[in-house]
A and B are shown apart, each in its own frame.
Chain A
Amino acid sequence: MSDKIQNQHLEELKKLNDSLSSENSKLDRLYKDFKAEANAVAKSKDKVKIYKKSIEVEITLKEYPSSAQGSVFFQNAMMSKYEAFGKEHLEKIARFFTFLEQLEDHYHGLYKTSSTFYFKDPHHSSIKDLYKTHEQLIGAYKLMLVLIIEVDRDQLVYHKVFNQIEDQGIFLSANEKLALKQMANISDKLNVVIDGLNVLIHETQKSNELLGKSLESISNLRSDIDWVSSDISNLGFEISDMQSEIWGLSQK
């Protein structure tokens, strides 16, 4: 190859390389832009997911009462039955009440926190805890309702429930209950009791239609009930009234 031809080749090659380099640069920039757009879409999708979740949480929070008042209702309901319980059982059930009140306070705190955070962070830990506490409260209310109703009726059911609660150590003394730290453990034990008694409660529901309805209504506790009354004397007028009484309504 002569030098002249080689020089020509070199020039041509340089030009092609320049063009190729320019195309590469353009493609680089375009791919970068494309990636940025894809990232923007992905981020936006994540945001939409969060917003949707926030709406979902808001709907749930609207359905949930801001505070739980079941312990007040059950305390009033027990007044007429103190003798039926007996002193020993009453002492233990009083501890269960304390636990219930703590759980209700915890629920109220979680509700307040969740109401503050759900807008920006619908995955906030307080929301998950709120759902869990809500379930636990429902379970505890079920147990309490069975205890109160069956104490002077079906003793066998009453003792089954009582023994289960006792076996799991939920009737702890004040010293043994170290507020929330302990409460988590007690709550777990409560779940064990509820799970263990599910069959029994189900059977009770079948055999006692009214109790069944009461339990069912507790299971479906919502705060959007039309009829609201704070008067304990109206309790039992309708099943829905009981719901309102147990939970209490913030709208009032």
Chain B
Amino acid sequence: MSKELIDFINILLLDGEISEKEEKQVYEKANTLGIPDPECEVILESLLGQAQKKNNSAKSTVKKKIPRYQKKAALNNTDILNQNIEEELAKQQKALADSKSIQSQIDSHQDKRHSIIKKVEDFQNIRDELPNEYMRLLTQFKSKLEKSLGSKIIENNEFQNTLLYKANENSIINYFENATWDLSKLTIKRKIRYYIFTAGYYIICGYLALDWIWFSAEDGGIISDEQWMGFKWWQILIAAFLSAILGQMSKEKISKKELDFNTEDIKKKVNELLTDDLKEQLKLYNELKKELNSNNNLKSRKFK
């Protein structure tokens, strides 16, 4: 019991003194511990004596320090902060109410949008058939052009890729001008021309030769003054020479693989074949395709 009292007094004596107030507390502490006042007084005086003895030298030379208390900043912003919180909560409530209203509008517009998309789905058959219709028109046009130019275009996928849904006057002309024409197909027409000219040359030359061999005063002949089919011998000879030259020219063109039409010819033919009706039809297909594509984009639009 007294040990606790001694500890208590020792703590109080850390500064070497006991004030009246502290003394009173010591007696109160002693009472609570059941130590009688006289005994408490003896302990107190004894410990005080020891402490004073120890302190004498120090106390005489060293002054006690006094704490310098700093003024505390006024920390009274809680009300303002609470008010700010209330304002923010009110803002949040308003924003949430607005969000709900917006959400319902979104739902309504989404419904409308879905009904439109459903109607658009009815155009699926057009979407499926349109490429075929389009290609049919273009193929017909191509065939007509090839026929009129007496040649054929070497087939490749570019025809479809380049012109499908892009066919207007310029793109068509551009495509056929730049297309690769098949020279082997071209020669058929020219070969005929060559054979005709060459045959004509040989026929005439042969006749002249025969006429020369069997020349007699009685029979006459083309070299004679007598006319053959209304032509004089020298006229027939010139025709034979011309046929030979033209035949030879055709032959040379074939061997050199030269076309006998140029880009201007193609342009001219395309313009001839590209009628207003065809243009309109192509335009319609283009627009349909454009709308279908646009519809695809509109349908697949994602909202975040």
* Chain A interface residues toward B at CB < 8 A: 1, 3, 6-7, 9-10, 13-14, 16-17, 19-21, 23-24, 26-28, 30-31, 33-35, 37-38, 40-41, 44-45, 47-48, 51-52, 54-55, 58-59, 61-62, 65-67, 69, 72-73, 75-77, 79-84, 108, 112, 115-116, 119, 148-149, 153, 208-211, 214, 223, 230-238, 245, 248-252
Q: Which residues of A contact B292 (CB under 8 A)?
A: 13
A83 to B59, CA, bound (A): 13
Cβ contact of A24, chosen from B16, B113, B281, cutoff 8 A: B113
> Is the pair A79, B64 in contact by a Cβ cutoff of 8 Å?
yes
Given the known inter-chain contacts A13-B295, A44-B95, please indicate yes or no for A210 contacting B4, CB distance below 8 A.
yes
Q: A17-B291, A35-B304, A249-B69 are in contact. List 7 more A-B contacts (CB 8 A).
A: A34-B103, A69-B69, A79-B15, A230-B66, A236-B13, A237-B19, A237-B21
Q: Which residues of B contact A232 (CB under 8 A)?
A: 15, 64, 66
Given the known inter-chain contacts A72-B67, A80-B55, A251-B72, please indicate yes or no for A14 contacting B291, CB distance below 8 A.
yes
Least CB distance, A185 to chain B, in whole angstroms: 27
Least CB distance, A134 to chain B, in whole angstroms: 15
Q: Which residues of A contact B66 (CB under 8 A)?
A: 72, 230, 232
- B276-304 CB mask vs A (1 if < 8 Å, else 0) is 00001100110110011011001101011
Given the known inter-chain contacts A37-B95, A72-B66, A80-B55, please indicate yes or no for A20 contacting B116, CB distance below 8 A.
yes
Cβ contact of B85, chosen from A19, A48, A75, A80, cutoff 8 A: A48
1-52 of chain B: CB within 8 A of chain A = 4, 7-8, 10-17, 19, 21-22, 25, 51
> Is the pair B65, A75 in contact by a Cβ cutoff of 8 Å?
yes
Which stretch, B119-127, B172-180, B236-244, touches the partner chain A? B119-127
Is B149 part of the contact surface with A, judged by Cβ < 8 Å? no
Given the known inter-chain contacts A55-B81, A69-B67, A79-B59, please indicate yes or no for A34 contacting B7, CB distance below 8 A.
no
Prevailing SS type, chain A contact patch: helix
> Is the pair A34, B106 in contact by a Cβ cutoff of 8 Å?
yes
Which 4 residue pairs are nearest across A and B when measured between Cβ atoms? Answer: A250-B72, A236-B12, A80-B16, A69-B67
> Is the pair B295, A20 in contact by a Cβ cutoff of 8 Å?
yes
A72 to B64, CA, bound (A): 9
> Is the pair B102, A30 in contact by a Cβ cutoff of 8 Å?
yes
> Is the pair A10, B78 in contact by a Cβ cutoff of 8 Å?
no
Is B70 part of the contact surface with A, judged by Cβ < 8 Å? yes
- Number of B residues whose C-beta is below 8 Å from A? 78
Q: How many A-B residue pairs have CB under 8 A?
A: 227
Cβ contact of A16, chosen from B16, B25, B82, B120, cutoff 8 A: B120
> Is the pair B73, A23 in contact by a Cβ cutoff of 8 Å?
no
A82 to B51, CA, bound (A): 12
> Is the pair A19, B116 in contact by a Cβ cutoff of 8 Å?
yes
Least CB distance, A158 to chain B, in whole angstroms: 14
> Is the pair B284, A3 in contact by a Cβ cutoff of 8 Å?
yes
Is B160 part of the contact surface with A, judged by Cβ < 8 Å? no
Cβ contact of A41, chosen from B21, B99, B117, cutoff 8 A: B99
> Is the pair B102, A34 in contact by a Cβ cutoff of 8 Å?
yes
> Is the pair B55, A237 in contact by a Cβ cutoff of 8 Å?
no
Cβ contact of B88, chosen from A44, A62, A211, A231, cutoff 8 A: A44
Cβ contact of B58, chosen from A34, A62, A79, A209, cutoff 8 A: A79
Least CB distance, A82 to chain B, in whole angstroms: 6
> Is the pair A73, B117 in contact by a Cβ cutoff of 8 Å?
no
- B115-152 CB mask vs A (1 if < 8 Å, else 0) is 01101100100100100010000000000000000000
> Is the pair A149, B11 in contact by a Cβ cutoff of 8 Å?
yes
> Is the pair B109, A23 in contact by a Cβ cutoff of 8 Å?
yes
> Is the pair A41, B92 in contact by a Cβ cutoff of 8 Å?
yes
Is B229 part of the contact surface with A, judged by Cβ < 8 Å? no
Least CB distance, B18 to chain A, in whole angstroms: 8
Listed A/B pairs (23) with beta-carbon separation below 8 Å: A3-B281, A16-B119, A16-B120, A17-B291, A20-B295, A26-B109, A28-B303, A37-B96, A44-B88, A47-B88, A48-B89, A51-B85, A67-B68, A77-B15, A81-B14, A119-B81, A149-B10, A210-B8, A235-B12, A248-B67, A248-B69, A249-B69, A250-B69
- Residue from A55, A83, A223 having most chain B Cβ neighbours under 10 A: A55
> Is the pair B92, A10 in contact by a Cβ cutoff of 8 Å?
no
Residue of B nearest to A230 (CB): B67
Least CB distance, A71 to chain B, in whole angstroms: 9
Residue of A nearest to B6 (CB): A210
Is B105 part of the contact surface with A, judged by Cβ < 8 Å? yes
Q: Which residues of B contact A81 (CB under 8 A)?
A: 14, 54
Q: Which residues of B contact A250 (CB under 8 A)?
A: 69-72
Is B156 part of the contact surface with A, judged by Cβ < 8 Å? no
